[in-house]
Structure 1
Amino acid sequence: MPESFGLTHIWTQGDAVTRLILIALIGMSVTSWVVIVLKALDVWKHKQSALSSEQFWHSTSLAEGLAVLSHRPDNMFHTLAQVGQEATEHHQAAQKQLHDRLDVSDWVTRSLRNCIDDHTSRLQNGLAILASIGSTAPFVGLFGTVWGIYHALVAIGATGNASIDAVAGPIGETLIMTALGLAVAIPAVLGYNALVRGNKFIIARMNRFAHDLHAYYVTGARVSPSAQANHPSHLAAAHVGH
């Protein structure tokens, strides 16, 4: 009766190293999918906040605008507006402190830029895990294949049977490990790229919103869209160079 090959056979007949590799690949797969799902929900939430941030500028007062932004929980744009307001009020109220040597424009710029940096760091949490899994999983699977081929050849040599039937089954079975490594890596890489693209959209919206906030807190008026097109945000430039 022909012997059945597959994952079950690999697990039951494999040694400790083979089983450890299988467990590692399964763990990588579960981890990557958990990160992808959680981060995708996070990106979707912040995208909705970014798209609705324009409502802030249609409010009749700053307090009303902050209230509009606060309707969404964990709204990064609400935090930006609050930081800008607090920076302006603090600069106006503080006396005889070192930061008084900075004008209000520089002080608000620095505060908003620091806030954007903090949010950017939060958005990037978990991406390193996906990048690591995407780059290492194929090699883990390949190691499992090489390890399996070695043991298959040793077993074939011990039996002295080198027919195609005796060789093809065990050798072919070890290739499953490489396939598993690729199956783990491909979703991780695709998820990483999709999340990075979503984060770039959110960060670009935060830079634009922060530029408008800076103009509002310093001059009392939002920068017009035509002025934004002709003069790129120095906040964004400072953020890139940071």
Structure 2
Amino acid sequence: MQHYGLANVWETGDLVTRFILSVLVVMSVMSWTVIIMKLLQVLRIRRITRQSDTRFWSADRFDDGLRSLGDPEADAHDNPLLALALAGHEAATHHRQTQQHLHDRIDVSDWITRGLQDTMDDTVARLQSGLAILASIGSTAPFVGLFGTVWGIYHALIVIGETGQTSIDHVAGPVGESLIMTAFGLFVAIPAVLGYNGLNRANRAIVTRLKRFAHGLHAYFVTGAQLPSSAGPPMRVVPRNGDASRDGDLEWQ
């Protein structure tokens, strides 16, 4: 069996055969690298969102909830919940400070929605990065292996034409080479396809949780109250100048 293995294909194959094998090896390495890196990212974000969401909404004040999410200077890029909270707070603060210029043009709800949506889009883009590589490998690797199969059959036909012999011992090498190429192409493509589908599903679950958190932030910054589905007691909103009838006069804590 070793005579007809990958080592034999590499030793007896020509330049085209070795090139095809090299391409498949590179595809396999890239595929598994992306799968492992994205899987670690998904597990880390899932752990962060599961633990930090409850701690944030259970805090008495916004500042305490923000600190429960992590360091705003160091963790904002790696913690999507922290990035959303900072974006919502920044949008609400900016709207309150520039309300005279934005009055009757953009209300606080639209302004905060835009800030949260921009941050959400950036997070989704980071989650989706690398998946295009898996999709490309999963769709092209079988055809690369198929090309190797065709090339192996071509070699078998050349042997038959040169020797005039069709016995198995004369064509076993080229035919075995073609079958190995087919198997290798599938070996590269199947993990890429499964990894792409699995990571896509995990990303959708994360995005759903982030959207729920963003909706809670939107309700909090606009009205000062949490959504009924949010965990923990509502955070305290302190009115400025004793008047809470205007959105611009609310100071979020």
User: Which residue number in structure 1 is paired with residue 68 of structure 2?
Assistant: 68
User: Which residue number in structure 2 is paired with residue 25 of structure 1?
Assistant: 24
1:224 aligns with 2:228: yes
Shift of 1:75: 0.7
Is the contact made by 1:87 and 1:107 (CA closer than 8 Å) also made in structure 2? yes
User: Which residue number in structure 2 is paired with residue 136 of structure 1?
Assistant: 140
Number of equivalenced pairs: 225
Cα 1:99/1:143, change in 2 over 3 Å? farther
User: Which residue number in structure 2 is paired with residue 38 of structure 1?
Assistant: 37
User: Which residue number in structure 1 is paired with residue 202 of structure 2?
Assistant: 198
Higher percent of residues as helix: 1
Q: Please give the TM-score of this superposition, normalised by the length of structure 2.
A: 0.84
- 1:94, 1:136 → 2: CA distance? 53
Q: Please give the TM-score of this superposition, normalised by the length of structure 1.
A: 0.88
Structure 2 gaps, min length 5: 231-253
Over residues 195-220 of structure 1, what are the superposed CA-to-partner deviations in whole Å (9 max), with x where a residue is unaligned? 11110111001100000000000001
1:116-135 alignment runs, 5 A limit: 116-135=120-139
Is the contact made by 1:131 and 1:192 (CA closer than 8 Å) also made in structure 2? yes
Q: Among the aligned pairs, what percent are the same residue?
A: 57
User: Secondary structure in 1 aligned to 2:227?
Assistant: coil
User: Secondary structure in 2 aligned to 1:114?
Assistant: helix
Shift of 1:164: 2.9
- 1:46, 1:140 → 2: CA distance? 35
Is the contact made by 2:159 and 2:171 (CA closer than 8 Å) also made in structure 1? no
Is the contact made by 2:2 and 2:8 (CA closer than 8 Å) also made in structure 1? no
User: Which residue number in structure 1 is paired with residue 167 of structure 2?
Assistant: 163
Question: What amino acid maps onto 1:63 in structure 2?
Answer: D
Cα 1:11/1:121, change in 2 over 3 Å? same
Over residues 154-196 of structure 1, what are the superposed CA-to-partner deviations in whole Å (9 max), with x where a residue is unaligned? 1221122222332234213321001000000111111111111
Is the contact made by 1:91 and 1:100 (CA closer than 8 Å) also made in structure 2? no
Cα 1:159/1:100, change in 2 over 3 Å? farther
CA RMSD of aligned residues (A): 1.9
1:205-220 alignment runs, 5 A limit: 205-220=209-224
More displaced, 104-113 or 166-175?
166-175
More displaced, 214-223 or 45-54?
45-54
